């Protein structure tokens, strides 16, 4: 509900914010080239459609001008940015290594070295005094390149070879390389770009998937390294489905999983059969989602058939439709996946918005939950490549507790810590985390995770940063950020809203915020912001909101609903040009999104999106300070969405507040690849936020 004007005025008067930005040169104004994009009798004209022309020199010149403008406006905060960067690097243990992962007599780990941007993948024999072998030095591979990311790596079943995937642009197009681990020499191959890849049971055969022109992963292949033989095993024709290659934890089967946002179909081929044909486990049925594992001659399926929030069943390999219940459906508990081992499985669950781990003992059929210590936290599975292991590795962290790698005994439930991430100069006792509940307009309670300084003065409103996502059934994590400490130490409260459309409270929570119900996601977020204002945590003049990707759509939609809600907003790689994107089937990801937002060629579904599309609903209003971040090589949300949004926002806004656009000219959806470069990006965003709040001098 919108705050009464008298209450809102009182809040604004209680905590005036004087933004600290430079006047700077006039903002870039791209040419207007009106294009009629009307459909269904709804007249829409897009004057900035031409910014899609990535190779057009005028587009690149405009993006560079936007970057220069942003730097000029943030000029007074240059000293603050450097201070923030030094603070964040000071909390980074620059020489560090991950907890070693045992596999086939070796310990595998990644190291970071001071002054270097990227990890170094290493291994050593699992014996006292063993010497280190450097397997992949990503820093060496990155020389002379603007972007370099080691996306994934996997050891073959015998341990003789390793395959790894590199992204050289940020476009999420992966080039595979195969190493002979005895000689550390690359094995010749002509696999080509892949979207996923996994080993068969031998050291010669790999299975992989590739993408079509619209970046939909649609083909499943087998490749033999020795012969160079390449076989197409399956092509996914349905344009709302993507395919992915994986292997079972015991390495007995390779899976080709076809999936839309709401429906699954899995094919399996024996990993030891180099000429085998993949067979469907269960034919696809609309809205039936399932995921497969294998153990001891049986497939284990996490399925939502007759189980809204999923259950676990098993079936003989030759009769995958003959199910035996393993873990029955619990309506209040969502099963998110399993990690399979010979003697037990670790079941990842979520209840009341919190992630949980349940251990299931195959010998006894007993199941037990691990007790986790804080009110709000994040837990996820870690690297578990050894099917015969007696322990399950997982990561634990909270908004005040740095990440740790822990192991739990599969049968006893005993937990021990392998490695705590060291954060120099950080004392968790100085901070507090809690979970509160806001009330949405329809009375639904929305959980929100909070972190703030323990000595915060709760007697008066404080600056507050509220973020959210709320799409695809993805749960927003209550995770740790050492960079965020720089905001907390300047008195900023940080809050994550677990709004509908996400998966925090189960599948019903997701369904309540998608398709025709999508507006609920945005009004939930508004309700969370109003809760903090009404409860005295903050005021609109002290509030900053943010979101990335679909979370950027969230922020854009919220700003159109309530431009008076906050002092500033940050939109990272935002999905804001919803209608134009969803009407263009040639763009990456578009068709697969039909079951998330709707298909705009259907008039009724077009109307759903028309009501909230941020770009199409910009209007004459006093919008807050806005920073939009995009990546030129973004394959998920093209750079032009944020660029067009910023241009049109400047056209219509009635306030004198700033609208800034920053484009990473050599990165994609995930931002820059180097760890130091990433901190510089974070420092820029924080400097914008603190400047908007009038806190740049802190």
- Over residues 288-326, the pLDDT tens digits come to 999 999 999 999 999 999 999 999 999 999 999 999 999
Using left for φ > 0, alpha for ψ between -120 and 50, and beta otherwise, residue 410 falls in alpha
Q: What is the C-alpha R_g of the chain?
A: 26
CATH of the domain at 486: 3.40.50.1820
Per-residue pLDDT tens digits for 250-281: 999 999 999 999 999 999 999 999 999 999 99
142-150 mean pLDDT: 96
Q: What is d(CA 309, CA 348) in angstroms, rounded to the nearest whole number?
A: 12
Q: What is d(CA 597, CA 607) in angstroms, rounded to the nearest whole number?
A: 11
pLDDT above 50 (res 1): no
Tokens 């010497």 belong to 131
528: containing domain: 429-692
Contact partners, residue 507, CB within 8 Å, separation at least 6? 304, 308, 309, 310, 334, 473
Q: What is d(CA 404, CA 420) in angstroms, rounded to the nearest whole number?
A: 4
Residue 194: CB atoms within 10 A of its CB come to: 23
pLDDT above 80 (res 70): yes
Strands (E), 554-658: 568-572, 625-631
Candidates 291, 246, 292; CA nearest to 271 is 246
Q: Is 136 part of a structural domain of the chain?
A: no
- Please write down the HEC assignment for all residues of 633-691: CCCCCCHHHHHHHHHHHHHHECCCCCEEEEEECCCECCECCCHHHHHHHHHHHHHHHHH
Q: What is d(CA 167, CA 314) in angstroms, rounded to the nearest whole number?
A: 37
Q: What is d(CA 485, CA 86) in angstroms, rounded to the nearest whole number?
A: 13
Helix (H) or strand (E) holding 367, with range, is: strand 367-369
370-388 mean pLDDT: 94
Q: What is d(CA 549, CA 636) in angstroms, rounded to the nearest whole number?
A: 8
Q: Is 618 part of a structural domain of the chain?
A: yes
What pLDDT was estimated at residue 9? 37
Query: Mean pLDDT over all residues of the chain?
Result: 95
Tokens for 592, please give them. 């697969």
Candidates 485, 576, 487, 569; CA nearest to 525 is 569
Q: Are strands 96-97 and 106-112 parallel, antiparallel or unpaired?
A: antiparallel
What pLDDT was estimated at residue 17? 61
Kindly report the CA angle at 352 between 350 and 357, in degrees rounded to 5? Answer: 30
Q: Is 621 part of a structural domain of the chain?
A: yes
689-693 mean pLDDT: 97
Q: What is d(CA 610, CA 211) in angstroms, rounded to the nearest whole number?
A: 30
pLDDT above 60 (res 11): no
Tell me the backbone φ, ψ of residue 6, rounded to 5 degrees: -65, -40
Tell me the backbone φ, ψ of residue 247, rounded to 5 degrees: -130, 155
CA distances from 192 to 15, 118, 165, 233, 658 (A): 58, 24, 11, 16, 45
521 beta partners: none
Q: Is 274 part of a structural domain of the chain?
A: no
Tell me the backbone φ, ψ of residue 572, rounded to 5 degrees: -100, 130
Tokens for 9, please give them. 């005025």
pLDDT above 90 (res 225): yes
SS3 state at 314: strand
pTM of the model as a whole: 0.95
pLDDT above 70 (res 331): yes
pLDDT above 50 (res 600): yes
Per-residue pLDDT tens digits for 159-187: 999 999 999 999 999 999 999 999 999 99
Q: Is 598 part of a structural domain of the chain?
A: yes
103 beta partners: 106
Tell me the backbone φ, ψ of residue 478, rounded to 5 degrees: -95, 70
Strands (E), 440-498: 445-453, 464-468, 493-497
Contact partners, residue 323, CB within 8 Å, separation at least 6? 301, 313, 314, 315
Per-residue pLDDT tens digits for 79-125: 999 999 999 999 999 999 999 999 999 999 999 999 999 999 999 99
Query: 305 near 289, Cβ under 8 Å?
Result: no
pLDDT band, very low/low/confident/very high, at 8 (cuts 50, 70, 90): very low
* HSE toward the beta carbon, residue 277, CA cutoff 13 A: 2
- % residues pLDDT > 70 (the chain): 98
* HSE toward the beta carbon, residue 46, CA cutoff 13 A: 23
Residue 548: CB atoms within 10 A of its CB come to: 22
Residue 579: CB atoms within 10 A of its CB come to: 20
pLDDT above 50 (res 2): no
Q: Is 336 part of a structural domain of the chain?
A: no
pLDDT above 50 (res 652): yes
Q: What is d(CA 11, CA 358) in angstroms, rounded to the nearest whole number?
A: 46
Q: Between 57-73 and 639-652, two packed helices, what is the crossing angle to 10 degrees?
A: 60
SS3 state at 462: coil
Active site residues: 549, 634, 669
Query: 587 near 44, Cβ under 8 Å?
Result: no
Q: What is the DSSP string of 206-262?
A: EEEEEE-TTS-EEEEEEEETTT--EEEEEE---TT-EEEEEE-TTSSEEEEEEE-SS
Helix (H) or strand (E) holding 523, with range, is: helix 519-534
pLDDT above 90 (res 373): no
SS3 state at 408: strand
Residue 140: CB atoms within 10 A of its CB come to: 12
Q: What is d(CA 671, CA 660) in angstroms, rounded to the nearest whole number?
A: 17
Q: What is d(CA 507, CA 517) in angstroms, rounded to the nearest whole number?
A: 14
Count of domains for the chain: 1
Residue 302: CB atoms within 10 A of its CB come to: 23
pLDDT above 70 (res 680): yes
Handedness of CA 637, 640, 641, 645 (dihedral sign): positive
Contact partners, residue 392, CB within 8 Å, separation at least 6? 339, 341, 344, 346, 357, 359, 381, 384, 407, 408, 410
Query: 88 near 690, Cβ under 8 Å?
Result: no
Q: Is 366 part of a structural domain of the chain?
A: no
Contact partners, residue 343, CB within 8 Å, separation at least 6? 361, 362, 363, 390, 410, 411
Candidates 343, 342, 345; CA nearest to 302 is 345
Q: Is 549 part of a structural domain of the chain?
A: yes
**Burial label, 583 (beta-carbon count in 10 A; 0-12, 13-18, 19+):** middle
Q: What is d(CA 329, CA 436) in angstroms, rounded to the nearest whole number?
A: 28
Per-residue pLDDT tens digits for 628-650: 999 999 999 999 999 999 999 99
What pLDDT was estimated at residue 591? 92
Tokens 């070295």 belong to 113
pLDDT above 50 (res 417): yes
């Amino acid at each position: 509900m919108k705050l009464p004007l008298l209450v809102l005025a009182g809040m604004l008067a209680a905590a005036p914010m004087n933004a600290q930005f430079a006047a700077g040169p006039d903002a870039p104004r791209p040419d207007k080239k009106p294009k009629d994009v009307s459909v269904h009798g709804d007249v829409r004209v897009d004057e900035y459609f031409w910014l899609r022309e990535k190779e057009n020199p005028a587009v690149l010149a405009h993006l560079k001008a936007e970057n220069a403008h942003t730097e000029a406006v943030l000029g007074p905060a240059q000293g603050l940015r450097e201070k923030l960067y030094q603070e964040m690097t000071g909390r980074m243990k620059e020489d560090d290594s991950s907890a070693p992962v045992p596999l086939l007599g070796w310990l595998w780990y990644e190291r970071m070295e001071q002054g270097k941007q990227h990890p170094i993948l290493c291994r050593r024999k699992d014996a006292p005094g063993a010497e280190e072998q450097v397997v992949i030095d990503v820093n060496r591979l990155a020389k002379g390149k603007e972007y370099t990311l080691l996306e994934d790596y996997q050891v073959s079943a015998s341990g003789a070879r390793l395959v790894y995937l590199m992204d050289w642009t940020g476009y999420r197009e992966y080039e595979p390389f195969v190493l002979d681990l005895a000689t550390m020499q690359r094995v010749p191959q002509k696999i080509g770009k892949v979207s996923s890849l996994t080993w068969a049971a031998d050291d010669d055969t790999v299975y992989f998937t590739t993408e079509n022109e619209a970046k939909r992963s649609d083909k499943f292949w087998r490749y033999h390294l020795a012969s160079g033989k390449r076989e197409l095993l399956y092509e996914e024709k349905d344009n709302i489905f993507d395919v992915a290659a994986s292997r079972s934890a015991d390495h007995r089967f390779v899976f080709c999983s076809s999936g839309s946002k709401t429906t699954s179909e899995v094919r399996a081929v024996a990993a030891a059969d180099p000429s085998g044909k993949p067979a469907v486990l269960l034919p696809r049925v609309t809205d039936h989602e399932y995921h497969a594992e294998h153990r001891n001659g049986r497939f284990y399926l996490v399925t939502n058939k007759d189980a809204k929030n999923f259950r676990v069943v098993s079936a003989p390999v030759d009769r995958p439709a003959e199910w035996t219940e393993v873990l029955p459906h619990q309506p209040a508990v969502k099963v998110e996946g399993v990690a399979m081992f010979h003697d037990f499985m670790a079941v990842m669950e979520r209840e009341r918005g919190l992630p949980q781990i349940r251990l299931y003992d195959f010998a006894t059929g007993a199941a037990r939950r691990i007790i986790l210590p804080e009110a709000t936290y994040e837990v996820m599975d870690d690297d578990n490549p050894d099917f015969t292991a007696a322990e399950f590795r997982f990561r634990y962290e909270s908004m005040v507790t740095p990440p740790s790698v822990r192991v739990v005994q599969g049968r006893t439930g005993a937990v021990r810590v392998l490695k705590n991430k060291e954060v120099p100069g950080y004392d968790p006792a100085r901070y507090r985390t809690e979970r509160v509940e806001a009330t949405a307009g329809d009375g639904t309670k929305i959980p929100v995770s909070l972190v703030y300084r323990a000595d915060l003065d709760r007697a008066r409103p404080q600056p507050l940063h509220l973020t959210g996502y709320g799409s695809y059934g993805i749960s927003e994590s209550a995770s740790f950020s050492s960079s965020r400490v720089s905001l907390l130490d300047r008195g900023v409260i940080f809050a994550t809203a677990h709004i509908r459309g996400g998966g925090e409270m189960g599948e019903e929570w997701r369904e309540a915020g998608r398709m025709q119900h999508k507006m609920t996601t945005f009004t939930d977020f508004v309700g969370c912001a109003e809760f903090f204002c009404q409860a005295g945590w903050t005021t609109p003049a002290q509030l900053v909101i943010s979101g990335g990707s679909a979370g950027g759509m969230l922020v854009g939609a919220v700003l159109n609903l309530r431009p008076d809600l906050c002092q500033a907003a940050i939109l990272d790689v935002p999905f804001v040009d919803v209608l134009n994107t969803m009407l263009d089937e040639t763009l990456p990801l578009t068709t697969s999104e039909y079951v998330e937002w709707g298909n705009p060629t259907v008039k009724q579904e077009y109307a759903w999106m028309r009501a909230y599309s941020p770009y199409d609903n910009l209007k004459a209003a006093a919008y807050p300070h806005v920073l939009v971040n995009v990546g030129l090589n973004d394959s998920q949300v093209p750079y032009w969405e944020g660029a067009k949004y910023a241009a049109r926002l400047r056209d219509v806004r009635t306030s004198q507040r700033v609208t800034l656009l920053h484009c990473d000219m050599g990165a994609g959806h995930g931002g820059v690849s180097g760890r130091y470069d990433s901190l510089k990006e974070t420092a820029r965003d924080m400097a914008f936020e603190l400047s908007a709040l009038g806190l740049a001098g802190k």
